[in-house]
Amino acid sequence: MPDADDALVVFTPSGRRGRFPVGTPVLEAARALGVDIDSVCGGRGLCGRCQVDLCEGRFSKHGVESWPDHLTAKSPTEQAWETRRGPLRDGRRLSCSTQLLGDAVIDVPSSSQVHRQIVRKRAEVLDIELDPIVRLYYVEVQEPDMHVPASDLRRLKDALAYDWNLVELENDIRVVQQLQAALRQGGWGVTVAVYDDRRIIGVWSGFQEQIYGMAVDVGSTTIAAHLCNLQTGVVVASSGRMNPQIRFGEDLMSRVSYIMMNPGGELAMTRSVRDALNELTVELAAEADVHVDAILEATFVGNPIMQSLVFGINPVELGGAPFALATDEAIDGLWATEMDLVIHPSARVYGLPCIAGHVGADTAGMILSETPYLGEELMLLVDVGTNAEIVLGNRHRLLACSSPTGPAFEGAQISGGQRAASGAIERVRIDPLTLEPRYKVIGCEQWSDEAGFEEGVAPYGVTGICGSGIIEVIAEMYLAGIISQDGVVQGGLSSRSGRVVAEGRTFSYVLHRDDSRTLAITQNDIRAIQLAKAALYAGIRLLMEQFGTERVDRIRLAGAFGAHIDVKYAMILGLIPDCDLDYVTSAGNAAGTGARIALLSRKARREIEEVVRRVEKIETATEPRFQEHFVSAMAIPHKSDPFPLLREHVSLPLGVPAEHHARRTSRRRRAPSSLSP
């Protein structure tokens, strides 16, 4: 062990280094060097967040020999911590309770960094810094003295200024109401929650370990929520439930109509969604074994109507032109009590901003999650629901619109359509020679032509076709020549296959038939999908035209539809424009991810608030070109767009008028479409 008065310490990964007197606590040295090490208790050995690793050995790179005896042995404080919390990992030390005795190389693991990274889903996007708006601080407050009559609050603030350099703090009245009891119960040690470095919003006696936040995506159909540890960023519980507003109307417009016809209906809907939120909260908290009072923040995304109802804003203006939003700002710093949420009474709520009357905070969440605004790459984001929200752009320019696709993609308006649940056909292949299908049903591992299928589907039966199944069956019907480019079922094939059957003046394709039901794709079903996909494609083309581009670099499909659909089939059917298939991927619940990012990062909030301000909103309803694009997009995949990149993977039938199609199909059957693996 060296006997110098000073010790040289090098911190990794930062590389910061400096000399300190022997006996200096490692945490103090780190702070002096500006090394990022977390601590809630202020170096009192309570929180265990300042853990570091000693790197043993000779480090010629640093000119340092670093050995275990260059640090003090485990202190009683560390031992007490281990008794309470379990043994420290081998080599780990509490940096607050460990002193330098000689030169040392000290590694700060990412779990001990305040500004650790939150991993975004797309690997190519920079991770964001964990920087929640609410943080905990432990302080020991001076006892009151009759001769120095500073109030308890003032002495608390003095301690926060001294220990944590938090100055000019404001505070909620509830903190004053609870402070005196907390100080005395905690033996003058309290943990406070500070909002945005400027306002004390909570106080607990003694040392409070953890606080949590909720990120909520309020969809028309389902409400999904994540409970996150605000100090680690980790999701500790996730859950979802139906949006109970469904009893007021299946889709958005029927809910708005309900309000128009039933004044005060908006209050009932707000109440019902908040009730559901509270049930969900209690459920999440129980799952994570967390008290609801430990939840200090909640963030919300939703389409404009859902977002309005959650925040108690009557959405009727969104039911008709000019679709004026009440606000296109973020809802910032709202008290949870104003929303009757059952979380901590001083918790705050953040609602991401809506962008336009049809483009909501869910789209803002998607943008925040996918960050098209950061790169040069031209990105297309699509979230398909009853309306499709479409965002196109890059760091130079960002466009957004909403397109009225209707509910066909979700299986509504389709004769055999159903929600994606056990018993629903989700995958389909059609043999172009025999026109026989094989398919896969949710809840069963086997395809319909594999052994064990019958047993597999027995519990549910084959009950309908979900959204992804409809896309696939129509695309396969097109590839097999059963429908023309114009979407007409070729009646001539009925002579060749019992699957093609007449139904009045049109024909259907029977996908499945058993004792209890027949699932057929009717001409009406195909028309419904054509209308929906034409609306989606027209919206996308409108944005591309406004942007001045004929191609996009990347397509991200958000939401449940995007997660389940096979993107090849979506492109074959012409839902989305031509693109290298490797760059067409699902974004998962991008809106919900955006809410989670906003929950964990103040910077992200300011970022999305700034970005949405420069999004150019395109109104499809009043844009004459939208109609032209719509008509051209009725054909499969499109009347005129050539889809060269898709054709590298898939042989598409030649575009021919419907009436000539029957003859040509025989030729095509000799050269069947081959799907890339």
Residues forming contacts to a copy of itself in the complex (CB under 8 A) are: 144-147, 149-154, 173, 176-177, 179-181, 311-314, 316-317, 321-329, 331, 334, 338, 354, 356-357, 617, 619, 621-622
CA–CA dist 453, 440 (Å, integer): 9
Q: Which is nearer to a copy of itself, 145 or 515 (CB)?
A: 145
Cis peptide before 87 (omega within 30 of 0): no
Q: Which is nearer to a copy of itself, 141 or 430 (CB)?
A: 141
Q: Which is nearer to a copy of itself, 181 or 671 (CB)?
A: 181
Q: Which is nearer to a copy of itself, 355 or 442 (CB)?
A: 355
Written as six digits, the tokens of 44 are 């009192």
Written as six digits, the tokens of 522 are 């009717």
Least distance CB 337 / a copy of itself (angstroms): 9
Least distance CB 583 / a copy of itself (angstroms): 30
Least distance CB 280 / a copy of itself (angstroms): 21
- Cβ atoms of 331 and 349 within 8 Å: the answer is yes
How many other C-beta atoms lie within 10 A of the C-beta of residue 505?
Answer: 7
Three-point CA angle 393, 397, 400, nearest 5°: 55
Least distance CB 152 / a copy of itself (angstroms): 5
Least distance CB 350 / a copy of itself (angstroms): 12
Q: Which is nearer to a copy of itself, 359 or 560 (CB)?
A: 359
Q: Is 335 exposed, middle or buried (0-12, 13-18, 19+ CB in 10 A)?
A: middle
Inter-CA distances, 583 with 487, 567, 578, 588, Å: 27, 10, 11, 15
Q: Which is nearer to a copy of itself, 53 or 266 (CB)?
A: 266
Least distance CB 311 / a copy of itself (angstroms): 6
How many other C-beta atoms lie within 10 A of the C-beta of residue 94?
Answer: 27
Phi/psi at 307 (5° precision): -60, -40
Q: Which is nearer to a copy of itself, 175 or 531 (CB)?
A: 175
Q: Which is nearer to a copy of itself, 177 or 222 (CB)?
A: 177
Least distance CB 629 / a copy of itself (angstroms): 18
> Residue 103's Cα: distance from chain center in Å?
46
Q: Which is nearer to a copy of itself, 240 or 304 (CB)?
A: 304
**Helix 523-547 and helix 467-479: axis angle, to 10°?**
90
Q: Which is nearer to a copy of itself, 217 or 328 (CB)?
A: 328
- Output the CA torsion 631→636→637→638 (10° steps): -30
Closest C-alpha among 445, 416, 377, 401 to residue 511: 416
Q: Which is nearer to a copy of itself, 322 or 644 (CB)?
A: 322
Inter-CA distances, 671 with 130, 326, 477, 568, 656, Å: 55, 57, 15, 19, 16
Least distance CB 324 / a copy of itself (angstroms): 4
Q: Which is nearer to a copy of itself, 226 or 344 (CB)?
A: 344
DSSP one-letter code for 47: S
Using only C-alpha atoms, the chain has a radius of gyration, in whole angstroms, of: 30
Least distance CB 330 / a copy of itself (angstroms): 11
How many other C-beta atoms lie within 10 A of the C-beta of residue 148?
Answer: 9
The helix/strand/coil state of 267 is helix
> Residue 247's Cα: distance from chain center in Å?
26
Least distance CB 612 / a copy of itself (angstroms): 11
DSSP one-letter code for 95: G
Least distance CB 266 / a copy of itself (angstroms): 10
DSSP one-letter code for 19: E
Beta strands in 537-578 (DSSP E): 554-558
CA–CA dist 517, 437 (Å, integer): 17
